[in-house]
């Protein structure tokens, strides 16, 4: 490996570790890539994707009334997701794999930075729409971690702070605030539940996990409200999720397992191996969680788990 490429990979890993630490601790990263003017590179400038390719995904966020500053980040995340989906499907996209790694970290940083700049210690300073914006921001962060680590078996320890903050923001946002975009609410709740549970098979279901109980009850209430007229199939719900930020090859099977795990709808087939889904995450030191976040890259030459193309060091 040439010295130049080795340096770029080392720098990318350094930034990844820094951002991973921030996600685990919700503290400022010790290192982040900025340009000569101190600005974070915008992914929409790097990609060759036409905005028309993904503007439909942003429509529901616009209808919800998401803050313009957050919507700008969501635009970049949507462009990145489009390229990442192409990478997983065919092994190529409009930019190279190292740049995808770099921008994954930069987008996570932008979300963390936005959240910290729009967080208030006193809850009475937050309007209901502020809480909706925070919920969308945190759910997008959880989405990116899942999307960029498709081979990871568990996220709970690394995402525990994000999940707790998401629950708190959802508790402050009345359901009426989501009425213009119910699919976004269901997507946010699904991301929260995914961040809470690893969905590893062979363990008993945790009944006392407070965050999981919260998301389970909220998801069931939303689902029940949408099924008053006629039953909804799994595929119909997935169709709704695909109008949000989504990568089918990563999330379809995960959320099917999740919804069966939560016993979302009694008529859905529930195999015995899925009925005894994940045990709650055990307490894990932040250092271990951080190491997992840094080493479980979404670009490794080992395709034995997912069969997806990747890049090794």
Element (H, E) at 1: none
Which residues 6+ apart lie within 8 Å of 109 measured at CB? 19, 22, 29, 32, 40
In this prediction, residue 141 carries a pLDDT of 96
DSSP 251-288: HHHHHHHHHHHTT--TTS---HHHHT-PPPPPP--HHH
In this prediction, residue 180 carries a pLDDT of 92
In this prediction, residue 121 carries a pLDDT of 55
In this prediction, residue 133 carries a pLDDT of 97
In this prediction, residue 130 carries a pLDDT of 94
Q: Which of 52, 42, 40 is nearest to 82 (CA)?
A: 52
**Secondary structure (H, E, C), 208-219:** CCHHHHHHHHHH
Structure tokens at 216: 């389970």
In this prediction, residue 303 carries a pLDDT of 42
- Sign of the CA dihedral with 278 first, then 280, 283, and 284 last: positive
- The answer, as to whether pTM is greater than 0.85, is no
* Average pLDDT for runs of 10 along the chain of length 313: 46 62 77 59 77 79 94 94 89 80 89 88 74 97 92 73 94 92 94 76 53 90 71 83 92 89 64 39 41 44 43 34
In this prediction, residue 200 carries a pLDDT of 44
Residue 214 neighbours by CB distance under 10 Å = 21
- Between CA 308 and CA 160 the distance in angstroms is 27
């Amino acid at each position: 490996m040439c010295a130049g490429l080795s340096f770029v990979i080392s720098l990318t890993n350094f930034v990844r570790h820094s951002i991973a630490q921030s996600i685990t601790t919700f503290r400022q990263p010790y290192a982040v890539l900025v340009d000569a003017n101190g600005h974070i590179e915008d992914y929409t400038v790097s990609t060759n994707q036409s905005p028309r390719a993904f503007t439909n995904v942003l429509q529901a966020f616009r209808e919800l009334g998401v803050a313009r500053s957050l919507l700008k980040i969501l635009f970049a995340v949507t462009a990145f997701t489009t390229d990442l989906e192409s990478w997983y499907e065919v092994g190529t996209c409009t930019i190279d794999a190292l740049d995808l790694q770099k921008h994954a970290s930069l987008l996570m940083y932008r979300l963390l930075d936005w959240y910290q700049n729009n967080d208030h210690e006193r809850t009475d300073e937050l309007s209901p729409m502020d809480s909706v914006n925070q919920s969308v921001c945190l759910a997008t962060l959880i989405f990116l971690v899942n999307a960029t680590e498709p081979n990871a078996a568990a996220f709970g320890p690394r995402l525990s702070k994000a999940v707790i903050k998401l629950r708190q923001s959802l508790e402050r946002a009345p359901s009426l605030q989501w009425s213009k975009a119910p699919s976004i609410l269901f997507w946010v709740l699904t991301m929260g539940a995914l961040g809470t549970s690893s969905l590893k098979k062979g363990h008993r279901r945790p009944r006392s996990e407070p965050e999981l109980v919260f998301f389970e009850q909220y998801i069931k209430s939303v689902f029940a409200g949408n099924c008053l007229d006629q039953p909804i199939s799994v595929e119909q719900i997935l169709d709704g999720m695909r109008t949000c930020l989504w990568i089918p090859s990563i999330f379809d099977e995960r959320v099917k397992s999740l919804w069966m795990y939560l016993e979302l709808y009694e008529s859905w087939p529930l195999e015995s191996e899925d009925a005894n889904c994940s045990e709650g995450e055990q307490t894990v030191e932040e250092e271990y969680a951080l190491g997992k976040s840094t080493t479980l890259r979404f670009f490794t030459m080992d395709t034995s788990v997912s069969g997806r193309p990747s890049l090794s060091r």
